[in-house]
Structure formats: structure tokens, C-alpha cells
Amino acid sequence: MSSKFSLHIRIFIFVVMTTGSLGATFTLINRCDYVVWPGILANAGCSRLDSTGFELPQGGTRSFQAPPGWSGRFWGRTGCFFDGITGQGSCATGDCGSNQVECNGAGANPPATLAEFTVGSGSSSGLQDFYDVSLVDGYNLPMIVDASGGSGSCASTGCVTDLNRMCPNELRAEDGKACKSACEAFGNPEYCCSGAYGTPAACRPSVYSEIFKTACPKSYSYAYDDATSTFTCSGADYTITFCPSTTR
């Protein structure tokens, strides 16, 4: 090994040890029997990943590298049409309102199933990744998050149940292709955990959030559903699967 190459290796190891890991790799897989158009939104102050929205065909896979400290969310858009000439279009569920395949810094219009992440540095201070699958903004398709190569509990989370089939009529959206949250459907503070209900003590599960929680016990069902819905891992990579097998 040349001294120059050896020096580069030592510098690389020093940088990793002093500044943290290289972040996390996110791999998105589409196991639905239809095309999904994932959307990606980085939180304020975080760099955007290689794409903010793209087409993922049935059986397709695409990976992204996120730096240490990155936080943001992923979701699936369905029923999309984008003109082959102008590139303009929209989606039936999870649309981000950009009028393009790329979401360009816009989030999902509810209802949409969300995978949310905060990537720790993986440094000697032992910072962790935090992740969850949220139905707080409603539901549009099944989703599972699996962690690999990390340390800690690193549990899988998500929702494999087709909530669209059991969605109450008053929450149904897009001709049954999505299910609203009670907050989105009614706007009441007790459902939205706002106003006088803006604390964990005041905002409790509703009959509607309990439907989501019973079907998907590891997913966020309302704003203060932290205890059973937030997961941690250190130094992991993550796979986000749309329409995972219900036999898992």
C-alpha cells in the first residue's frame, strides 16, 4: 500500500471518528401492484436528497444517501399522471402540489402515510436515529420501515393493513383510495390536539385514532402517540417498503 493511499485512509478514519458516521442510506422498494411516485421532503435547514419526487415502478428500488443530522419524511403518491411533453400533472393521493414529478420542497397533501426520520451522527456521543410511520395526516397506502446494520432496538415499524377497506365513511377520501384523519375531516381541536387540547394530558385518543391504532399498533395514530410509535437505532440504514407482504 502506498504511503499516499495509507494517508488518505487514515484521514478518512479520523473524519468518521471525529464527525460521526456517513449518515444513513434509505432504500425505497415498491411491492404494490401499481406504480408509486415517492415524495421526499427534507426538514428546514437540512439538505435535499438526490430527488424530491420520482416514479417507482412495480418491483422497483431506489436508494438515497442522507448525511448525519438529516431529518425529513418519505411518502408514496398514487394515481399520478404527468404529461410526457410538459411534465406537468398531479396525483390522486399524497400529491405535493408542485404540478411536477419532483416535489421541490413541498410536502404531501393529506391524507398520506408518512415515514419520518431524524438521523443522528453516530459519533462517540452515541447519538441515535429516531424514526416512525405516521398516520396523523391520514393514510393512503401500506408502508413498512426496516432498520439494518445498526445497534440498539432497531425495530421494524409501519402499517401493513389496508386501512382504506375499513375506513369509516366520514373519513373516506378519493373514492376510497385514502382515509382522512379525524383532524383533517372535522377540524375539531380535540382531534387536532390544538388550542385547549394542545398538551399530551389534554389530547387523548379518539374513537377514530383508535381505529388506526388497532389496525396498525406501531404507527402514530394521533399527535401525542409517542410512547408506542417512535423508534430508535444507531448507525443503521433503512428500507422503506410500499405495500409490504401482509404475512410478515
CATH number, residue 210: 2.60.110.10
7 inside domain: no
User: Based on the structure, what is the number of domains in the chain?
Assistant: 1
Q: Considering the domain boundaries, does residue 37 fall inside one? A: yes
Judge whether 219 lies within some domain: yes
Strands (E), 126-226: 129-134, 143-148, 157-159, 172-173, 178-179
pTM: 0.88
- In the prediction, which pLDDT does 163 show? 96
- Its sign, for the CA torsion 78, 114, 214, 199, is negative
Residue 6 in any domain: the answer is no
Q: Residue 65 pLDDT more than 90?
A: yes
| Average predicted confidence (pLDDT) for the chain | 89
The pLDDT score that the predictor gives to residue 121 is 54
- Look at residue 229 and tell me whether its pLDDT is greater than 70: yes
Q: Look at residue 11 and tell me if it is in a domain.
A: no
Which residues form the domain of 170? 21-242
Q: What is the mean pLDDT of residues 74-94?
A: 96
Residues 6+ apart with CB under 8 A from 174: 79, 92, 93
CA distance linking residue 151 with residue 137, whole number of Å:
30
Place of cell 381505529: 211
pLDDT at 23: 87
And the C-alpha cell for 5?
493511499
For residue 185, tell me if it sits in a domain.
Answer: yes
In a domain, 183, yes or no: yes
Q: Is residue 15 part of a domain?
A: no
